A and B are shown apart, each in its own frame.
Chain A
Amino acid sequence: MSKNVLRIENATMQFGGVVAVDNLNLEINQGEIVALIGPNGAGKTTAFNVTTGVYQPTNGAVWFNGEKIIENHPQGKMKKLYKGENDGKYTHVLAPTPDKITKLGMARTFQNIRLWKSQTVFNNVLIAKHCRTTAGVASAIFRLNRREEERQRQEVLELLEVVGLADVKDELATSLPYGKQRRLEIARALAAEPTLLLLDEPAAGMNPQETDELTAFIGEIRDKFNLTIFLIEHHMNLVMNISDRIYVLDFGKLIAEGTPAEIQNNKRVIDAYLGVAEDA
């Protein structure tokens, strides 16, 4: 069996009295494409935010490449309010900020595009390389890091070539058409040199043709950059085409997991999310 990349363990995220993610357990192995699906408000993006450090889980842990990177247990006011399971199982607090998690090799895109608006396409990708910069401020100011900077610029050019944005590299990021902005967000995430890529609804707002292109693109970059991919998506064509395994969330709880074929025939998933065709 291949190496385990990401493991979310008994993760519960509770906001006040609302349990957004309830005792979530999932595993992603090296080289897999795993999808997280579910109806709106099921807690998919919250699960992403817990994984990437934007939120601190109320209870539970996250492991990355065999190392525990996040852990928390109910504290303070939450002690009384806590409605989830496994209370008392975790005793440590490990809460790195998102940038530290990105440096470990996990990069993400956003559901609503978050590009740096005043910057060109090229700079958007180049800035993502900043977290791999070793030069200090003084050597950056006095250009003593020229070799590193040159190398980074070269890498960004190559990356833009791969994702097909080389011809628009000097345009403002926001002047690109929607589909290309999505692609740029993925390119930017790739520039941070991740081993695990998290895509939050990469096909949102895309037409069927753009969605097909994106499906092929995700497969391509997985092979080319040796990635493991974890994605949230509502386009079932895309999900069923490229996922190795699928997890289904409903009201914060995991209701199913399995291969696309298994999920498509799972009664609970059909009731909660997929539904049946009208003429069936």
Chain B
Amino acid sequence: MTLKKKQTIFTAAVLLVLLLASMALDATLPSYHIAITCVKKATVYALVAVSMNLLNGFTGLFSLGQAGFMLLGAYAYGVLCIPVAKRAGVYQYFDGGLIQFSLPEIFAGFLGDTIGSTVGMLVALAIGGLLAAAMAYLIALPVLRLKSDYLAIATLGFAEILKAFFQWNALGPITNGSNLLKSYPSFEKGTSYILLAGAMIAIIVLLINSTYGRAFKAIRDDEVAAEAMGINLSKHKRLAFVISSFFAGVGGGMLAMYNGTIAAAPFKSALTYEILLIVVIGGIGSITGSVLASFLYIFSSEWLLRGLDSGTFLGINAPGIFKNGFRMAVFSVIIMIIVLFFRKGIMGDRELPDLLVRRNKKSRKEAAGK
């Protein structure tokens, strides 16, 4: 069997096992169980982290606008999906709001209840993604002339402006001002999240391994050489920016679904930093790393380290030490250890299939020397 074949089978097997595991979780545990909640949140974070990695890790554009694009996706999802009957209650300060339709209900009208509302929700997510992509296209022209830190500052500023803009009262009939959007439908099962985010991530992987993905990597490695070899820099950077924003928008919609309510305030820069942290821990330039790190990060911060805050951890009962806030202290130490001892992240720039290839000593030495 050739190595390539082995790798394909290995990857397929791992993915299948994960899918079956999530289905088993869904079947055995109630939907409010912490494990399922963590799976949902981690999947959403994984999608956004991979979309950020596409930009930061594969194209070499250090952008921090992720939260802004997620906000667009989240609002698009909420605004388009709240049932018409509940709009009066949600938009109580704005006379029931401006928009008086709901995509899941429209699609349910001619596709039947279950399929129709699912299709409607997916369409709303896609519209959120497209909205984020369109916004990215608009700001790409001025912003992508900047390099490294300056680009980061500009995109960060853009996200903050967007956040403030969505809380503006004059937009209330659509965004509900600074009040919550709620009562919209969401996926119940963790598996639905995994399938949806998995499909999105698969598209990003296909993109990265295509001729365009290779061009992105060339831009990251050496911009001057890339341009000299006929790669149109502005076109390709904008392409990466727009595609990354599309998936961040979809991820934002899914985060709204997971949270159950939407407000502009949580889409602050701290959200972007969380995602950035995941990308760095996983390995800049590794999709597998980003996904793995999302699950580790969410499971430990939401669940596994909870005991550190509430008195009992790993069977040790020490309410004096394990009290509120201790979890974050331990978490910071873990992150510092990772940054110090796994400088290239958990995966470096390797992917799932590469785990089958044992690196020889020489290349390992080179990697250490870098």
Using a CB–CB cutoff of 8 Å, the interface residues on chain A facing chain B are: 52, 54, 97-100, 102-103, 107-108, 110, 114-119, 123, 126-133, 135, 137, 140-143, 145, 149, 152, 172, 175, 188-189, 192
A101 to chain B, nearest CB (A): 9
Chain A to chain B: the 9 pairs with minimum beta-carbon distance, closest first: A131-B230, A102-B230, A116-B221, A114-B225, A140-B210, A128-B229, A98-B227, A99-B232, A127-B218
Among A99, A103, A142, A188, find the residue whose CB has the most chain B CB atoms closer than 10 A.
Answer: A99
Interface of A is mostly: helix
Q: Within the assembled complex, what's the spacing in Å between the Cα atoms of A132 and B85?
A: 55
**Interface pair B203/A141, CB less than 8 Å apart:** yes
Q: A110-B224, A116-B217, A119-B221 are in contact. List 14 more A-B contacts (CB 8 A).
A: A97-B227, A98-B227, A99-B232, A107-B230, A114-B228, A115-B225, A118-B349, A119-B214, A119-B218, A126-B214, A129-B211, A131-B230, A140-B211, A175-B366
A150 to chain B, nearest CB (A): 12
On chain B, the residues within 8 Å of A114 by CB distance are: 222, 224-225, 228
Q: Mark B218-239, 1 if CB is under 8 A from A, else 0.
A: 1011101111111111100001
**Interface pair B211/A130, CB less than 8 Å apart:** yes
Q: Within the assembled complex, what's the spacing in Å between the Cα atoms of A190 and B225?
A: 14
On chain B, the residues within 8 Å of A152 by CB distance are: 211
**Interface pair B228/A149, CB less than 8 Å apart:** no
Q: Within the assembled complex, what's the spacing in Å between the Cα atoms of A127 and B220?
A: 13
Query: Can you name 26 A-B residue pairings with CB atoms under 8 Å?
Result: A54-B228, A97-B227, A97-B232, A97-B233, A98-B228, A99-B231, A103-B230, A107-B228, A107-B229, A110-B224, A114-B222, A114-B224, A116-B222, A117-B221, A118-B217, A119-B214, A126-B214, A127-B231, A128-B230, A130-B214, A137-B243, A140-B212, A141-B203, A142-B206, A188-B229, A192-B229
Q: Within the assembled complex, what's the spacing in Å between the Cα atoms of A97 and B236?
A: 14
Interface members, chain B 171-217 (any A CB < 8 Å): 203, 206-207, 210-212, 214-215, 217
Other-chain residue from A52, A118, A137 in contact with B228 (beta carbon distance below 8 A): A52
With A116-B217, A192-B230 as contacts: A143 and B206 at CB distance below 8 Å: yes
Q: Within the assembled complex, what's the spacing in Å between the Cα atoms of A172 and B221?
A: 13
Closest to B362 in A: A175
